[in-house]
């Protein structure tokens, strides 16, 4: 079992130090985000007026906030929410984007042009504005945050998938499949998309930190995720009013957030290099 995992790791990730560090940190972060709120002795939302604004101690590892809530529990709970928002929105965006782009690229001609023009029009508007408006309309929360992220988030995936499919549909095996009379949908799903998977996965990995970043940014502005739920952005925002007095309340969640984003970017870059080497081309950001 362990050998097989190692084999897979070698196949997909190679022996890159960056991937190892990134994935290890991510693993630790996920375990902590799940375990601390579930099994920790403190609740993320229970207030206790007697222990307000305490510094870090053996009892409260990151100290407590202005309502006497244990910051260690809150930070990891928030990290979990942030990760969940990032992963779910990426999955939705990935699925919508890949299907849209694949259909557009495979159909070609007028359909392709119309679909891509629509995407261009949506893409031209800064996505942050959509997310803000949608959280205003639907109320701050995880659901509206994910919805907001999905209004324009799929377009970059659609463009990438379209590019790959246009390249792949001219290959010999695609012609062969078409001549055998296999339905276009089947060719697309069974033959073309699996071959585009490398590029698609790389770009999807980079969507996760982007989504987490957007969520943190909006929660920090006060239009993202609001009480009783809390993401890292919310916690940082709450600490802002007493930033000068109790900077630790802001620094702990900031560090957890930054390390999380860095780890995701490291893992993404490592896989990108690997896939790029593998198929002999860089995928880049464009």
Partner 1 sequence: MLRYTWKRILTGILSLFVLVTVTFFLVRLIPGSPFRQGGVSEQVVETIEQEYGLNEPVLTQYFSYIGNVLRGDLGVSYQDPATRVTEIIARAWPVTASIGITALAVSVLLGTGLGILRAVTKRRFVRELISAGGMLAAGIPGFAAAILLLLVFSVKLKWLPASGLLSPAHYILPVTALSLYPAAMIARLVGNTLDSELQKDYVLFARAKGIGKWQIIFTHALKNAYLPVLNYIGPASASLLTGSFVIESIFTIPGLGREFVGSITNRDYTLILGLTVFMGAVVIIVNLLTDLLCAWLDPQTRRAYKKAGDSAK
Interface positions with partner 1 (CB under 8 A): 112-113, 116-117, 120-122, 124-126, 128-130, 132-134, 136-137, 139, 209, 213, 216-217, 220-223, 236, 240, 243-244, 247, 250-251, 254, 257-258, 261-262, 264-266, 269, 282, 284-286
**Minimal distance in Å, beta carbon 120 to partner 1?**
5
What residue ranges in 2-146 does DSSP mark as E strands? none
**Minimal distance in Å, beta carbon 67 to partner 1?**
21
Using the minimum distance from each CB to partner 1, give the nearer residue, 177 or 260. 260
**Minimal distance in Å, beta carbon 100 to partner 1?**
14
**Minimal distance in Å, beta carbon 104 to partner 1?**
9
C-beta separation of 125 from 182 below 8 A: no
Among 203, 215, 208, CA closest to 262: 208
Using the minimum distance from each CB to partner 1, give the nearer residue, 136 or 189. 136
Using the minimum distance from each CB to partner 1, give the nearer residue, 114 or 185. 114
Using the minimum distance from each CB to partner 1, give the nearer residue, 188 or 236. 236
C-beta separation of 230 from 77 below 8 A: yes
Query: Partners of 160 in the beta sheet?
Result: none
Maximum Cα interatomic distance, the chain, rounded to a whole number of Å: 76
8-state DSSP, 188: I
For residues 3-17, b (16+ Cβ closer than 10 Å) or e, as one string?
eeeeeeeeeebeebe
**Minimal distance in Å, beta carbon 58 to partner 1?**
26
Burial class (CB in 10 A: 0-12, 13-18, 19+), 126: exposed
Using the minimum distance from each CB to partner 1, give the nearer residue, 158 or 177. 158
């Amino acid at each position: 079992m362990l050998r097989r995992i190692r084999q897979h790791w070698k196949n997909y990730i190679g022996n890159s130090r960056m991937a190892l560090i990134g994935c290890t940190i991510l693993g630790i972060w996920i375990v902590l985000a799940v375990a601390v709120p579930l099994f920790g002795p403190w609740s993320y939302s229970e207030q206790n007026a007697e222990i307000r604004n305490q510094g870090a101690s053996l009892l409260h590892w990151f100290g407590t906030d202005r309502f006497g809530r244990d910051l260690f529990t809150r930070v990891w709970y928030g990290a979990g929410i942030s990760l969940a928002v990032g992963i779910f929105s990426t999955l939705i965006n990935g699925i919508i984007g890949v299907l849209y782009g694949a259909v557009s690229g495979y159909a070609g001609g007028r359909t392709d042009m119309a679909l891509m023009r629509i995407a261009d029009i949506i893409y031209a508007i800064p996505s942050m504005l959509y997310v803000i408006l949608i959280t205003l309309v639907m109320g701050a929360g995880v659901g509206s945050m994910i919805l907001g992220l999905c209004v324009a988030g799929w377009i970059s995936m659609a463009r990438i998938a379209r590019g790959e499919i246009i390249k792949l549909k001219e290959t010999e095996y695609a012609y062969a499949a078409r001549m055998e009379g296999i339905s276009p949908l089947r060719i697309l799903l069974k033959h073309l998309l699996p071959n585009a998977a490398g590029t698609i996965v790389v770009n999807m990995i980079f969507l996760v930190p982007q989504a987490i970043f957007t969520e943190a940014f909006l929660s920090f502005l006060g239009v993202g995720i609001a009480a009783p739920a809390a993401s890292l952005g919310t916690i940082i925002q709450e600490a802002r009013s007493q930033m000068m007095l109790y900077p630790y309340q802001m620094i702990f969640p900031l560090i957890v957030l930054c390390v999380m984003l860095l780890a995701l970017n490291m893992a993404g870059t490592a896989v990108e290099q690997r896939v790029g080497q593998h198929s002999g081309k860089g995928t880049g950001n464009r």
